[in-house]
Chain A
Amino acid sequence: DVVLTQTPVAQPVTLGDQASISCRSSQSLVHSNGNTYLEWYLQKPGQSPQLLIYKVSNRFSGVPDRFIGSGSGSDFTLKISRVEPEDLGVYYCFQATHDPHTFGAGTKLELK
């Protein structure tokens, strides 16, 4: 199974700062059809996860442009510029290229 390794485990930030989360895969996430099915989710306390980014770098409807997904192959990054209070929570990467699908262990974005 594909293992997704997220770093850091926790990211203390000051509001207005930039934050960066890494997601590394144990194998390439390029599908045989040429697409890379790497997604990013944010889960706020007591809520269901919400989709931020799909296929590496595409923002889902309504997601602010301060969320930027990038990467290729097996190395991916989510950058959040100008962190706002509503951005705090746990971020997960998720791969849907290979069966079974898998989540990373999560990165908690928290205030310093």
Chain B
Amino acid sequence: QVQLKESGPGLVQPSQTLSLTCTVSGFSLTSYNVHWVRQPPGKGLEWMGVIWSGGNTDYNSALKPRLSISRDTSKSQVFLTMNRLQTEDTGIYYCKVLAYWGQGTLVTVSS
């Protein structure tokens, strides 16, 4: 069955770079599009970006200057990299495909 699991550092210092991994199973990354969505504490969902099955990407306009999404199809992994982190980047980061979501990983930006 389709499964996604996010992993990452948990704590990131301000101005540093965040690197997250979404490890998937039950489908091929070359067949489906994987999205990243985040949620600040107590707030709503924010679509961050997508890596399409063909490998192209699209990003949230506000995050585009800082955000990159890539993948390793051989490892069934999708990567999110975001630089110049600030405290407002704190939140739960999810990856999703179609109706399926990971459990999310909490990222806290703090010194």
Contact = CB atoms under 8 A, between A and B. Distances in A.
Contact of A105 (B37, B44, B101): B44
Interface string A22-61: 0000000000000000000101000011110010000011
A48 B45 contact: no
Interface residues of B, number: 19
Contacts of A104: 44
B99 A94 contact: no
A43 B49 CA distance: 20
B103 interface: yes
Given A1-B61, A48-B94, A103 B44 contact: yes
A49 B45 contact: yes
A65 B58 CA distance: 34
Nearest to B50: A101
Interface residues of A, number: 21
Contact of B58 (A49, A94, A100): A100
20 contacts: A1-B61, A48-B94, A48-B101, A48-B103, A48-B104, A50-B99, A50-B101, A51-B98, A90-B44, A92-B45, A94-B47, A100-B47, A100-B58, A100-B59, A100-B61, A101-B58, A102-B47, A103-B45, A103-B46, A104-B44
Interface of B: 35, 37, 44-47, 49-50, 58-61, 94, 98-99, 101-104
